[in-house]
Amino acid sequence: MGNGAGGQVGVVAALVRAAFLVDGVYAEASRAYGLTPQQGQLLCVLMPQPYGMGELGETLGLAKSSLTGLVDRTVRRGLVRREADPRDGRAVRVGLTEEGASLAERFYAETVRRMEALPAGLNGVERERLAVLLSRVVVDNEVPEVFVEAEKDGFGVDQPDA
């Protein structure tokens, strides 16, 4: 079960190994800020706006009970709050608190910094090609936007030149 010529692996192995790589970086960044990876993901999803519980569950791929537990723990930490949905008084939306928004921005910036370092061995053309191909895979598979695109984020994160 070795690598092919020049360390190249097939697409399936490359995708699985890349997922492990990204998960590991995400977990390290989360630990650096005293978060679980799930809490970090929740904060990033909530950066642009509050979401209803149903939307959050769908976006994060969590069952209702798992999402409720995640939100409960993050509320207790003072990072998110539940609020009434202005369009439906029976529904609840989850949004960032001031403390949560501040932590989310710092966590986001650190995660982007760490992720940007992953393809450091690629030149600009290779990085662009990788972005195009990964974008197609993500769009074709209708992956929810769980991490906003750094160049268009509007969160004041400085991005290194590619």
The verdict on residue 51 lying in a domain is: yes
Query: Which one-letter amino acid corresponds to residue 105?
Result: E
The verdict on residue 33 lying in a domain is: yes
CATH at 29:
1.10.10.10
Render each residue's pLDDT in the chain as its tens digit; 162 residues. Answer: 555 556 788 999 999 999 999 999 999 999 999 999 999 999 999 999 999 999 999 999 999 999 999 999 999 999 999 998 888 878 899 999 999 999 999 999 999 999 999 999 999 999 999 999 999 999 999 988 777 775 544 444 444 433
Q: Of the candidates 140, 41, 64, 49, which has an alpha carbon nearest to the alpha carbon of residue 96?
A: 49
The verdict on residue 76 lying in a domain is: yes
The verdict on residue 35 lying in a domain is: yes
Name the domain count of the chain.
1
Tokens 């061995």, located at residue: 121
The verdict on residue 3 lying in a domain is: no
Q: Of the candidates 27, 16, 48, which has an alpha carbon nearest to the alpha carbon of residue 144?
A: 48
Q: Give the domain extent around 135.
A: 14-152
The verdict on residue 8 lying in a domain is: no
Helix (H) or strand (E) holding 96, with range, is strand 88-96
